[in-house]
Amino acid sequence: MEKEFSRGRSAQDIIISLILVVFGAILVAMPTSQSVNILGFFMIFAGLILLLVLRTCYKLDGTKETYKKKEIYFAQSKRDATAAALAANPSEIDLAEENKGNGLRVDIFYSRKTDKAYCRLYEYIPYRYEPCTPYYEYPLSKVENLIK
């Protein structure tokens, strides 16, 4: 089964949106000046827009587990070394070479709650990143230095 991650709403996203809506409604309900009522309506509007748009977590399809995502970029010349390190032990990836090019991208989806991490290497083919390794599943302790 191929693993796919899709964007979703985290509890933090929903809480931020609801706080804006509630405080905006309180400002509108209070007998104050017109400028405070306008601020309240703006807060309600912003909270509703954020509720529709804000999606900061990732969900593994078929499960309800939520993950955070970290992307690390490397130069194309490090493809073989990065792929080998990712397959064997991701903590051996040389972070000194990070951000010295953007031909490769390592995506790391991790969850502290389930102590799982999924890593995958992508290669830049003009106009998009194509996967060049499958997802590797590791305990969070093996990728801890990559997500700092």
pTM: 0.81
- Please check the confidence at residue 26 and state whether its pLDDT lies above 70: yes
**CA 114 to centroid of chain Cα atoms:** 16
For strand 128-131 and strand 136-139, is the pairing parallel, antiparallel, or unpaired?
A: unpaired
Mean pLDDT score of the chain, rounded to an integer? 90
List pLDDT tens digits, range 29-65: 999 899 999 999 999 999 999 999 999 899 888 788 8
- Please check the confidence at residue 1 and state whether its pLDDT lies above 50: no
98 and 64 Cβ atoms separated by less than 8 Å: no
- Please check the confidence at residue 2 and state whether its pLDDT lies above 70: no
φ, ψ of residue 130 in degrees (nearest 5): -110, 140
List pLDDT tens digits, range 55-98: 989 988 878 888 999 999 999 888 898 999 999 888 888 788 78
Three-state secondary structure call for residue 8: strand
